[in-house]
Structure 1
Amino acid sequence: MKKTLPILLSSLVLSTSLFANDNLAKGLNVVITSKDAQTQMMGMVLSMMTLKQKKEVNMTLCSDAGDLAVKGIESPILKPQDKSPKMMLQALIKQGAKVEVCPLYLPNTSKDESVLLEGISVAKPAEVAKKLLDKDYQNLSY
């Protein structure tokens, strides 16, 4: 029994360090469709935390969340950051996040690419699908 305990403890330490390194994801794929500002903000906050960990963020805005990508459409200021989801979105772009709108958003809101904020483009479904299926990325949907 005395010999078994150190062996078990050693195995536990080694397996714990292996699991700790198991999540070496390249980054995060975030799909936001919600109109709710708090829900949008949570996606923005987690994306910012991901960038701060030197990981990539790929964000696709669809449906009502596509409004965040449009010049002149404001979003509410939320506590505790005293920022809006749109302000956080612009900060994410400056920090290197790739942000796109769903290809259905513009034609179904009678808008074109000229209304999009700088740094935001229209997503290509095949590329989004490829990223979502890439096991090197974690996927979040709001």
Structure 2
Amino acid sequence: MPKILKTLIAAALIAGTAFGAHADSHKNAVEEVLVILSSDSLQTQGMAMVLSNTMAEKGARVNVLLCDEAGDLALKTYEDETLKPRDVTPGQMLRGLLKQGGTAKVCALYLPNSEYTKDDLIDGVGVAMPPEMADQMLDPDMRTFTF
């Protein structure tokens, strides 16, 4: 067998092995995630939303729980500084996630301990109930991320 043919066969086998490993890594991919965001840091909120949107783009169902000052992202009146490089706010990124089919809820303690009501939340954002959230957090098939 000519050396070039051996080299091509070896390359094809290596590529096939690499492809198989890549396919296997997605076979066990997490299908649904819970992102708990409670930080009041603009950059932390932004990164949580960037990663949430990216996971949604990769096919994951993304659930976001907004607690404490992060609950403000879900307010109709929310405004904040934009973040580079895309010049968007974490609140705008949250709205983008909702358009992609993601879900968002504010913590059960957020509204009763603020001046806001459910009417102040953007469309599509609900209020999380502890039993439902505990079920998600305990679900072995759901990965939980906290920011």
Taking structure 1 as the reference length, what is the TM-score of the superposition? 0.84
Partner letter of residue 45 of structure 1? V
Question: 2 CA distance for matches of 1:37 and 1:138?
Answer: 24
Give the equivalent residue in structure 2 for 1:59: 64
Poorly superposed stretches of 4+, deviation over 4 Å:
15-19
**For the pair shown, which has the larger CA radius of gyration, 1 or 2?**
2
Alignment of 1:3-42 (within 5 A): 16=21, 20-21=25-26, 23-42=28-47
SS at match of 1:88: helix
Q: Structure 1: where are the runs of 5+ without partners? A: 1-12
**C-alpha displacement at 1:129, in angstroms?**
1.0
Letter paired with 1:132 = M
SS at 1:108's partner residue? Answer: coil
Contact 1:27 1:50 in 2 (8 A): no
1:122 aligns with 2:132: no
The alignment yields a C-alpha RMSD, in angstroms, of 2.2
Deviations 1:22-58 (A, max 9, x none): 6321121100000111000111011111111111000
Q: In percent, how many aligned pairs have the same letter?
A: 39
Q: Work out the number of aligned pairs and report it.
A: 132
Query: Paired residue for 1:76, among 81, 92, 96?
Result: 81
The corresponding residue for 2:142 is: 137
> How far has the Cα of 1:73 moved from its partner?
2.4
Residues 1:127 and 1:108: Cα distance change in structure 2 (over 3 Å):
same
Per-residue deviation, residues 51-101 of structure 1 (Å, max 9, x unmatched): 111110000000010111111121210001110001001011111101000
TM-score, normalised relative to structure 2: 0.81
